[in-house]
Amino acid sequence: MNLTDAERRENQEALEAMSLPEKLEYVFEYYKFPLVLALIAVVALGSVLYYRLTRREALLYVACANIAMGEELEAALNQGFIYAMDRSPIGSEVRLYHNLYLSQDATVQNHEYAYASQLKVMAAMSSGQLDVLLMNREAYPETEPALNDRKYGFNLKSQLLKLLVIFPVVSALVAWVCTLF
């Protein structure tokens, strides 16, 4: 808008004659929309910067079902794994899912809590945010046959059966078929 010199002087004199609250009201009245947009932009930029500066990379996701992990063990797991991976503890972390209760027994007192814990574990597994699940035998009774001979998730009897009986028989059968052609 092109103003003459006289109009500019009148506006300047009118602005100088106003008190501070009147000046603020005048500025806010005419620049309300740009000020609100600037405030929104500053808040958005601040939240993005805060997220970028405080974000920590999860190196390992661990869930503890039906077990209580003490503070010392938790700290040793966190710091020990981070240092073993040769990462900085400032930008890295081990994420732990605590207080999970898993049970296949529908008559258990906290069945709803067990169901919610199962959903949480399944969601974490589906999203790729679960690497290790620490649990006792009650949490997953289907592992009982594998745990009879060893204390690992490996059934030695079935593996020996495959190695010593099934594999040689199948190999001999395939070799015999190959000699026919």
Give all strands of the β-sheet with 57-65 in edge-to-edge order.
92-100, 57-65, 132-135
Q: Residue 153: what pLDDT?
A: 52
Dist. CA 32–CA 102, nearest whole Å: 56
pLDDT, tens only, 120-131? 888 888 888 888
How would you label 160-175 residue by residue, b for 16+ Cβ within 10 Å and e otherwise? eeeeeeeeeeeeeeee
Dist. CA 16–CA 8, nearest whole Å: 12
- In 3-state terms, what secondary structure has residue 146? helix
H or E element at residue 8: helix 5-17
Q: Residue 40: what pLDDT?
A: 96
Q: Residue 180: what pLDDT?
A: 85
Dist. CA 130–CA 61, nearest whole Å: 5
What is the value of pTM for the model shown? 0.53
Q: Residue 136: what pLDDT?
A: 79
- 89 forms beta bridges with none
Q: Residue 145: what pLDDT?
A: 58
Q: Residue 50: what pLDDT?
A: 93
Residues of the chain with pLDDT under 70: 1, 106, 140-156
Instruction: Report in angstroms the alpha-carbon separations of 92 from 77, 83, 86, 107.
Output: 13, 10, 10, 41
Domain boundaries, the chain: 5-53, 56-139, 142-181
